[in-house]
Structure formats: structure tokens, C-alpha cells
Amino acid sequence: MSVRVGIVSFAHVHSPAYAAVLRDLDAADFVGITDEDPGRGAEAAELFGVRHFDSAGSLFEEVDAVVVCSENSNHARDVIPALQAGVHVLCEKPISTTLEDARAMIQASDTSGSQLRTAFPVRYLPSMVRARELVRGGALGRVLAINGTNHGQNPGGWFLDPELAGGGAVMDHTVHLADVLRWMLDVEVKSVYAEIDAFFGAGGTDDAAVLTLELEGGPVADGAFATIDPSWSRGEGYPTWGDVTLRIAGTSGVLDVDPFAQPLRIFDHEKGTPSWSYMGEDMNALMLADFLRGVAEGEPSGASGLDGLRTLEVVLAAYHSGENHEPKNV
């Protein structure tokens, strides 16, 4: 049985990729799209061959689940009514820009019984899944430290507007690796130190940072430390969009994880700039299929609203530390 699903807002750059997956997934009955910008919504609906709904409420009446892709600070506005209408929600990351919003969303899920999940697709990359098995199986002994990066390009648009995005690169990218660390190592983040700045053209927001996290809990990595580089330090000349990497150092081994390591290097005589071509699994498809399975079976997996909140806490602690040059407890 396929799940009736819609998309709320095409504001986020990931929404076209999600729409393409939902159109093709057998488990999905992709019903339609709503958007506070009706022109953008109608255009997207036409592109993907689905209905355009002129209000979120009218979409909620015809679907079991939605993916919310509005601007970060508008997530609560779009997620809470969906949950209250009995619609399950996969919310784009970061879950929100304030703890209050995240808590209200979780509360709405608890009260309504509708599922709230956070879109952390990196968990689904096969090398990440295997890394988790290896680490938890003791392949590295005790984990001592993790050196992580999530680089990208300056995305432009509303991502540079602190009102809508809640911050820059630190808000945009930190959450992916913070989530992976918690999920992979069964730890919580105890404190954060951050150096934050802007160098790569983001203007009024941050685009460069290095975060240092103290981790606690769990059998394999209690007391370990980690760094996250979420910088938008890639540009037009870079052969791919960016990276997600982890170097995990343990007492008896090292695991270097680079899921987007590119096997094909393409040198196009016309374009002049080399590009790398990713041949691996589509993490968005794996994540969306798991979300729909969770809805169909009533047994969600993947990242919860609480997981989204925990990673937002790391981001907010990083901004605090960046201002004060002191580690900040989470």
C-alpha cells in the first residue's frame, strides 16, 4: 500500500530532489505540493506532474504524510498544523532555529500522535551504516576522537538571511555531523567550542567555522572529542558540491569515512572545469523510503524530532561559544 504524501514549500534547495524521489518511489503516492508562494508551488507541481494546493490545510485533507521544506525559521509554522491535522511530517533540517519552536513541534507530535521525523539523510549512506557497525563492533577499540567535515558552497538566497535561516554555515551544516556522531557512537554532546567567521561571500552571516565537541555516554566513545568543519568553503571551481567526511581515531585503529569519494573524474573539453561523478546510493531516496515505511507500518525509524532538537542545541551552543571564546555546555 502506498502512502499519500505531499510537499509543503519549495523554499529549500533540497525540495526538487525530494520531489523527484517521491515521484519515482513505488511506496509513495505523490499527491501534491503547497507553497506560500503560489507561483513557485504551481510551477513545481507542474514540473513533477502533481496537483497544486493553494492552502496547506487543503493538502492535509488528502495526504497521510508531508515533507516540510520551508525556510528554517518557518518550520514550526508549517509542521505544527500538519501534525494537528493528523499528518505525519518529515521536516527538513535543521528542525528549527529556536529551541522553543523545536519543543513546540515535538509537543504537537506527542499530543496528536502524528510522527515527527527530522531529515538527516547522511545516516542512510551505506558507508556510514557500515562505519557504525564497525565502530560498535569494536573494530577501533575505544573511540578517542573524530575529525569531521561537512563542506559545501555558499547556497545564496534566504540561506544568507539570518531571520529566515537562523544562521549561516554553522546552522546549515553542523546538524548533519552532530546527528551522525550521536547516532553512530551512541553519545551526547556535552560542550562545544567554536571559532566562527565569514570569508566566502556570505555577507551578513557566517560561512566559516571549526567546532570542537566533547562527547559523553555510550560504550564506545564516552569521553571522546570531535571537531566539525561546516564551512561553505567550496566554490565554482570545485569539482563537486562539497563533502561529508569523518576520521575516527580509536585505541586500536583508524576509520576514514568519505561516503562521497568520487570514483569517476570527468574532464569535459567544453566546460573546462573537471567534475566528479558520484556513483553511490541516493541518500534522499533511502531516507524518504524509510520515512514512508515508518508511516505505513506505524513504526518510525530514522531521526526523530528529539534528534533534531539535540543537534540544534549543538548549533546554538556553538554560536554562543563563537561570541564568547569559551566552551559552552549543551
Q: Binding residues for another protein, per CB under 8 A? A: 144-145, 147, 149, 193, 195, 197, 199-201, 207-210, 212, 214, 223, 225-227, 229, 231, 233-235, 237-238, 247, 249, 251, 253-254, 325-327
Q: Which is nearer to another protein, 10 or 319 (CB)?
A: 319
Q: How far is the CB of 159 from another protein (least distance, A)?
A: 17
Q: Which is nearer to another protein, 269 or 325 (CB)?
A: 325
Q: How far is the CB of 133 from another protein (least distance, A)?
A: 20
Question: What whole-number distance in Å separates Cα of residue 215 and Cα of residue 203?
Answer: 32
Q: Which is nearer to another protein, 162 or 242 (CB)?
A: 242
Three cell numbers written together for 226 = 570531535
Q: How far is the CB of 163 from another protein (least distance, A)?
A: 24
Q: Which is nearer to another protein, 109 or 233 (CB)?
A: 233
CA-closest candidate to residue 232, choices 220, 218, 219, 242:
242
CA-closest candidate to residue 197, choices 230, 173, 226, 163:
230
Give the distance, in angstroms, between the CA of residue 163 and the centroid of all CA atoms in the same chain: 19
Give the distance, in angstroms, between the CA of residue 197 and the centroid of all CA atoms in the same chain: 22
Q: Which is nearer to another protein, 234 or 293 (CB)?
A: 234
Q: How far is the CB of 198 from another protein (least distance, A)?
A: 8
Give the distance, in angstroms, between the CA of residue 216 and the centroid of all CA atoms in the same chain: 22
Spatial CB neighbours of 185, under 8 Å, sequence gap ≥ 6: 135, 143, 146, 215, 218, 220, 221, 224
Q: How far is the CB of 176 from another protein (least distance, A)?
A: 17
